[in-house]
Amino acid sequence: MGAADGFTDSGELDGLTVYDNEGEKVGSVGRVYVDDDTGKPDWVTVKTGLFGMKESFVPLAGARRVGSDLHVSHSKETVKEAPRVDADAHLSVAEEEELYQHYGMTRKAGNLGGDAKGTGTGTGADARTVAGTGAMGAAGAGAAGTARGT
């Protein structure tokens, strides 16, 4: 799966409230990961838990924005049960593959054998870079500049 067709800029996802496929609130967008091939947002982390201390990765494939809300195509339970991956650190190929399997997705052919990074310095065929409200290479709320995977 490639980047979600409806989203062209990670900034448009900052601060959105995330709802599942049944309309139940899941949490809020934490970080935005863009596809290095297209430059479009591909995955987000969703801050969940009592104080929003946990972050779960969720794909943007099939997601849609409605005002200040982001409706994803997965259930709240599926998002909360996603494999725990440190959103601040490098995503290994194995971790990314685990996320794809959890959501019943298949990588696009060009992404096989690459790696994913949440550091803003992606390399490899499947590098993902983070932009948004995070601290590492991020742009948006609380961060100056517009680093977008450079």
- 72 burial level (CB within 10 Å; 0-12, 13-18, 19+): buried
What predicted TM-score, i.e. pTM, was given to this entire model? 0.69
Q: Is the pLDDT of residue 2 over 70?
A: no
CATH architecture, domain defined by 10-132: Alpha-Beta Complex (3.90)
Are the C-beta atoms of 118 and 91 separated by less than 8 Å? yes
Q: How far apart are the first and last CA of the chain?
A: 22
Q: What is the pLDDT of residues 108-125, one digit of tens each?
A: 654 433 333 333 333 333
Q: How far is CA 76 from CA 46, 57, 70, 87, 132, in A?
A: 10, 12, 13, 19, 22
Q: What is the pLDDT of residues 17-40, one digit of tens each?
A: 999 999 999 999 999 988 878 888
pLDDT of residue 142: 30
